[in-house]
């Protein structure tokens, strides 16, 4: 692991880290799974975290052995329907949906002179940040449309560091998904996993929930 004193910036995931939208994604995908008749399980739900929209749909169809039952056009329709339902939930969001401690942590980072970028797989990230009144904290956002591969590939976290002109070793990546932690580690950054320690066992630092995330707690785990 890098030394705490080498860290100059943070690359953040959004869904499930900054806000509770991971629950909304799950809710909307569960509806799709029910519609196509694919089985829904905790493992599938956890495995979908961090995964792009179309790859998520493929995973759901595969769980029901249904991947060959739909044309590409039908798959796009299913993904669009999911996104419409997801956006209805996002529309009701307010800054109250920011997860505990996150606003304070973002202020701590900003006031400490650390740089900040967003590495979310979600094409809806700018809209979600706007609903949370957090747009000003994230002038640098990796555009998921520019990615050739999604998480767990390192590309998104490599780009997150590049956007703030830092080397990966100078960055901490923050994630709630196993695929995301894998992506951070493969990018050569220090990984923080938030949530189930068993699912996020590969993270360099684990926090049970966002309220534990402070610079002092991170420093204590790195030295
Ligand atoms: C990730 C979520 O952040 O974004 C996934 O963890 C989601 O659940 C992915 O599928 C893509 O999001 P969107 O908003 O572009 O469909
Ligand atoms: Mg996430």
Question: What pLDDT, in 10s, does the model give residues 186-206?
Answer: 999 999 999 999 999 999 999
Q: Is the CB of 143 under 6 A from ligand 1?
A: no
- Summarised one tens digit per residue, pLDDT across range 115-157 is 999 999 999 999 999 999 999 999 999 999 999 999 999 999 9
Domain limits, CATH 3.40.50.1000, in the chain? 4-19+95-222
- What CA–CA distance (Å, rounded) separates 212 from 174? 13
- Tally Cβ neighbours within 10 Å of residue 85: 15
- Distance (angstroms) between ligand 2 centre and the Cα of 36 equals 25
Atom 16 (ligand 1): residue with closest C-alpha? 53
Domain limits, CATH 1.10.150.240, in the chain? 22-91
- The pLDDT value recorded for residue 223 is 77
Confidence of residue 94 (pLDDT cuts 50, 70, 90): very high
- Summarised one tens digit per residue, pLDDT across range 27-78 is 999 999 999 999 999 999 999 999 999 999 999 999 999 999 999 999 999 9
- The pLDDT value recorded for residue 12 is 98
- The pLDDT value recorded for residue 190 is 98
Annotated binding residue 14: yes
- The pLDDT value recorded for residue 152 is 98
Confidence of residue 101 (pLDDT cuts 50, 70, 90): very high
Confidence of residue 170 (pLDDT cuts 50, 70, 90): very high
Annotated binding residue 120: yes
Peptide bond before residue 60 is cis, with ω within 30 degrees of 0:
no
Homologous superfamily in CATH for domain 4-19+95-222: HAD superfamily/HAD-like (3.40.50.1000)
- CATH architecture assignment, domain 22-91: Orthogonal Bundle (1.10)
Atom 1 (ligand 1): residue with closest C-alpha? 50
Note the ligand closest to the C-alpha atom of 26. Answer: 1
Phi, psi of 6 (to 5 degrees): -80, -15
- Distance (angstroms) between ligand 2 centre and the Cα of 50 equals 5
Q: Locate the ligand 1 atom nearest the alpha carbon of residue 50 and give its number.
A: 6
Atom 11 (ligand 1): residue with closest C-alpha? 122
Residue 109, pLDDT above cutoff 80: yes
Average pLDDT of the residues in 167-185: 98
Q: Is the CB of 21 under 6 A from ligand 1?
A: no
- Residue positions annotated with a catalytic role: 13, 15
Stated pTM of the model: 0.96
- Distance (angstroms) between ligand 2 centre and the Cα of 176 equals 5
């Amino acid at each position: 692991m890098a030394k705490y004193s080498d860290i100059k910036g943070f690359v953040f995931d959004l869904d499930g880290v900054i806000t509770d939208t991971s629950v909304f994604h799950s809710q909307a995908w569960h509806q799709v799974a029910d519609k196509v008749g694919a089985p829904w399980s905790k493992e599938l739900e956890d495995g979908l975290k961090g995964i792009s929209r179309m790859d998520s749909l493929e995973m759901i169809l595969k769980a029901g052995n249904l991947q060959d039952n739909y044309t590409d056009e039908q798959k796009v329709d299913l993904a669009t329907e999911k996104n419409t339902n997801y956006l209805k939930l996002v529309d009701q969001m307010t800054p109250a949906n920011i997860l505990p401690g996150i606003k304070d942590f973002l202020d701590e980072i900003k006031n400490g002179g650390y740089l900040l970028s967003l590495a979310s797989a979600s094409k809806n990230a700018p809209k979600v940040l706007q609903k949370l009144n957090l747009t000003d904290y994230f002038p640098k956002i990796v555009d998921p449309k520019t990615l050739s591969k999604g998480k767990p590939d390192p590309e998104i976290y490599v780009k997150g560091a590049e956007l703030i002109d830092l080397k990966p070793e100078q960055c901490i990546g923050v994630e709630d998904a196993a695929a995301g932690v894998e992506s951070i580690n493969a990018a050569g950054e220090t990984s923080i996993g938030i949530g189930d320690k068993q699912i996020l066992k590969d993270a360099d630092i684990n926090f049970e929930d966002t309220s534990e995330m402070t610079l002092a707690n991170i420093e204590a785990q790195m030295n």
